[in-house]
């Protein structure tokens, strides 16, 4: 069973230099601007990274969908903000899979903010949040085999490569070999 809103993750998570905060309508302009400035960086890996995604109106629709999913307990999208200035640097999301036993983590960081450790920090915090959710026993990061940066994040956080699946590429940089990285609940951690 997916978690009810009562068992949803916290809306705000402190992660060192970052704050992860439930995405909200007032983020739409900043998300659109970050996507617009990052299209070449995102397009190889993110099928949604189009010129339309760089428009505020479309981001408002996305936030409304994220709200619906949050309230339904299906998925939880966060804006990644700097703790110091509240600058939006990307997004991270938890998607419930496998009847709520598994969480898939997805993330992107704006081109101008990359290689500062932000994805690692955000994914580390969200891994702990996911594993603390009732019923969740594992967290997965799905990464195309050609996406060295995202694989580096999973590896650095102690995820293990569980398997590689063949699939049709969905974005232009993808090889069609999907790495599934896995973190299980450590013994003694809350279920």
Ligand X SMILES: CC(C)(COP(=O)(O)OP(=O)(O)OC[C@H]1O[C@@H](n2cnc3c(N)ncnc32)[C@H](O)[C@@H]1OP(=O)(O)O)[C@@H](O)C(=O)NCCC(=O)NCCS
Would you tell me which residues interact with ligand X (CB under 6 A)? 41-42, 45-46, 107-109, 114-120, 143, 147-150, 152-153, 156
Residues in the chain: 191
Alpha carbons within 13 angstroms on the beta-carbon side of residue 96 total 24
d(CA 132, CA 157): 17
Cβ proximity to ligand X: between 3 and 159 the closer is 159
Residues 107, 77: Cα–Cα separation, whole Å: 9
State the nearest-atom distance from the C-beta of 44 to ligand X, in Å: 7
> Nearer Cβ to ligand X, position 117 or 135?
117
> Residue 101 Cβ, how far from ligand X at the closest point, in Å?
21
Q: Are strands 88-97 and 138-144 parallel, antiparallel or unpaired?
A: unpaired
**Closest separation between CB of residue 45 and ligand X, Å?**
4
Q: Which is nearer to ligand X, 72 or 177 (CB)?
A: 177
In this structure, what token pair is assigned to residue 104? 């898939």
Mutual orientation of helices 118-131 and 148-156 as an angle, nearest 10°? 50
Residue 121 Cβ vs ligand X, minimum distance, rounded to whole Å = 7
Q: Could you tell me the smallest distance in angstroms from the CB atom of residue 22 to ligand X? A: 19
Nearest residue (CB) to ligand X, 59 versus 147: 147
Toward ligand X, which CB reaches closer, 7 or 120? Answer: 120
Q: In degrees rounded to 5, what are phi and psi of residue 184?
A: -90, 165
């Amino acid at each position: 069973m997916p978690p009810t809103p009562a068992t949803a993750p916290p809306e705000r998570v402190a992660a060192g230099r970052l704050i992860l905060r439930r995405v909200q309508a007032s983020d739409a302009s900043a998300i659109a601007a970050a996507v617009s400035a990052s299209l070449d960086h995102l397009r190889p890996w993110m099928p949604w990274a189009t010129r339309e995604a760089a428009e505020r109106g479309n981001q408002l629709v996305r936030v409304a969908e994220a709200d619906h999913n949050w309230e339904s307990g299906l998925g939880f999208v966060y804006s990644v903000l700097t703790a110091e200035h509240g600058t939006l640097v990307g997004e991270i999301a938890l998607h419930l899979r496998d009847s709520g036993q598994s969480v898939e983590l997805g993330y992107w960081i704006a081109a101008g903010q990359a290689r500062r450790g932000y994805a690692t920090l955000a994914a580390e915090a969200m891994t702990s949040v996911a594993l603390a959710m009732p019923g969740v026993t594992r967290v997965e990061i799905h990464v195309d085999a050609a996406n060295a940066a995202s694989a580096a994040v999973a590896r650095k956080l102690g995820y293990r490569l569980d398997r590689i699946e063949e699939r049709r590429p969905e974005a232009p940089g993808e090889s069609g070999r999907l790495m599934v990285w896995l973190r299980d609940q450590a013994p003694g951690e809350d279920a």
